[in-house]
Amino acid sequence: MKKIRVMITGIAGKMGQELVRTVAQQKDMLLVAGCDISQVGKDAGEMCGIDAIGVIIEMDLGVTLREVRPDVVCDFTYGEALRKNLPLYLENRVNMVIGTTGLTPEELKKLEDECQQREIGCLVAPNFAIGAVLMMQFAQKASQYMERAEIIEFHHPQKKDAPSGTAIKTAEGIIEAKDRAYEEKSFELLPGSRGGRLGTVNIHSVRLSGFVASQEVIFGGEGQTLTIRHDSLSRVSFMPGVLLAIRKIAKNKHFYYGLDKIMKL
């Protein structure tokens, strides 16, 4: 059986390390390379607490891509790093699974066009947890029956962007299902106390130690409220979704935004 040759960019980060441990256990995958700006020169397996796997962490992304020629590269870095990495992925025509958030709608459309022109498979997902995808689906359905919604998202302090990509995609789904005019009647004594706003949906971002990734979507209606919540208690929760994406992108030269696009929902 031909194995999927996987490369991880941002391999020394928490998501990268979890993915090393996960890919190492898959019979149909082989980790062939990893890049980062830290832990350079170390064995990827030993770095994340398992046995040595013979994959040495590199710093030069362009050279590594040309020498290794992976089937799929997984990028779990941060917005500015991803913007520098994308031209190299496209130049080397490597299929991409991107968990890094922060790209604008315009940047996503440009990436989609580039992938289609070069026949490159790409999946960009703000959240790889299956439960989070279901939460977004349920929220979109509920929005058809409830008056309006607000979102509260909770992440660890190291998360660089706010609001999260998951919160934005959830709000977009709610707006798509039912976007009606809403007049904000409250007055902010402290600017920003009502959070940010996308369409009719207010989004509040919490950054505290102890959280991995959680989100509440709170709906209000006549005499009732409805709360839909998802909690990722560890980064293990993201791995089934990442594996699903790798297997899909290795065989399909299409562009997908959101894990839901490849799930049977």
**2: which DSSP letter?**
P
| pLDDT tens sequence across 182-228 | 667 777 889 889 999 998 899 999 999 999 999 999 999 999 999 99
Mean pLDDT of 20-28: 95
Structural domains present in the chain: 4-124+236-262 (3.40.50.720), 130-233 (3.30.360.10)
Which of the following is catalytic: 159, 178, 253, 254? 159
* Active-site annotation holds for 264: no
Query: Is-catalytic flag, 159?
Result: yes
Closest CA to 132 of 151, 105, 108: 151
98 assigned to a ligand binding site:
no
User: What pTM value is reported for the model?
Assistant: 0.84
pLDDT band at residue 161, thresholds of 50, 70 and 90?
confident
Model confidence at 180, in pLDDT bands (50, 70, 90)?
Answer: low
pLDDT at 102: 82
User: Rounded to 5 degrees, what are φ and ψ at 152?
Assistant: -120, 120
Residue that the structure tokens 């990827």 belong to: 44
27, 84, 109, 155: which is the annotated catalytic residue? Answer: 155
Instruction: Tell me what the mean pLDDT of segment 227-247 comes to.
Output: 96
Query: Are 70 and 5 spatial neighbours (Cβ–Cβ below 8 Å)?
Result: yes
